[in-house]
């Protein structure tokens, strides 16, 4: 087995897979392009946080209970513990991916994902800022986002 030269790995990550040509600066800044039909599969909804607490099995996660307008409670586990106190989240409305397949995260089921903006990639900046995406004014839980 041979080791890959880090310069080769960096170069390979900055080339188009289809043609092998170098990517433009804009192309390498963003994730790969998707079609409109692919994006249309994502169901973005408004949810209200009804309960927030530290995840029992993880240092960086919060376990959120949400009202998503469906009449059934929804739980989402999110890596925002270092950025938000649980008490300040209760009652806030957020944008979620409602049709993401459920997944166990450290032994707890997470049914969806909240959306947040960040000014730095994960792990690169101790001063990283994370901001939850929220509607500008109150709207019914379950409202669609487009």
pLDDT in tens, 83-105: 999 999 999 999 999 999 999 99
First to last CA, the chain: 48
Residue 103, SS3 per DSSP: strand
Q: List the domain boundaries for the chain.
A: 40-132
Q: Which helix (H) or strand (E) holds 73?
A: strand 73-78
Distances (CA, A) of 22 to 8, 26, 33: 13, 11, 16
pLDDT of residue 121: 76
pTM of the model: 0.77
For residue 66, the Cα-to-chain-centroid distance in whole angstroms is 16
pLDDT tens track for 35-57: 999 999 999 999 999 999 999 99
- The Cα 20–Cα 23 span in angstroms is 9
Question: Is domain 40-132 classified as CATH 1.10.3330.10?
Answer: no
Q: Which helix (H) or strand (E) holds 66?
A: strand 62-67
Neighbours of 9 (CB within 10 A): 10
């Amino acid at each position: 087995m041979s080791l890959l030269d880090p310069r080769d790995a960096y170069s390979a990550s900055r080339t188009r897979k289809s043609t092998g040509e170098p990517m433009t600066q804009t192309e390498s800044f963003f994730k790969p392009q998707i079609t409109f039909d692919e994006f249309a599969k994502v169901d973005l909804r408004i949810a209200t946080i009804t309960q927030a607490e530290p995840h029992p099995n993880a240092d960086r996660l919060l376990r959120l209970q949400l009202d998503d307008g469906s009449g059934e409670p929804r739980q989402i586990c999110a890596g925002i513990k270092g950025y938000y106190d649980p008490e300040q989240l209760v009652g806030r409305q957020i944008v979620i991916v409602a049709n993401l397949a459920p997944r166990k995260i450290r032994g707890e089921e997470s049914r969806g994902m909240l959306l947040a903006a960040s000014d730095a990639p994960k792990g690169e900046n101790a001063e990283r800022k994370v901001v939850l995406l929220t509607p500008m004014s109150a709207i019914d839980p379950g409202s669609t986002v487009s």
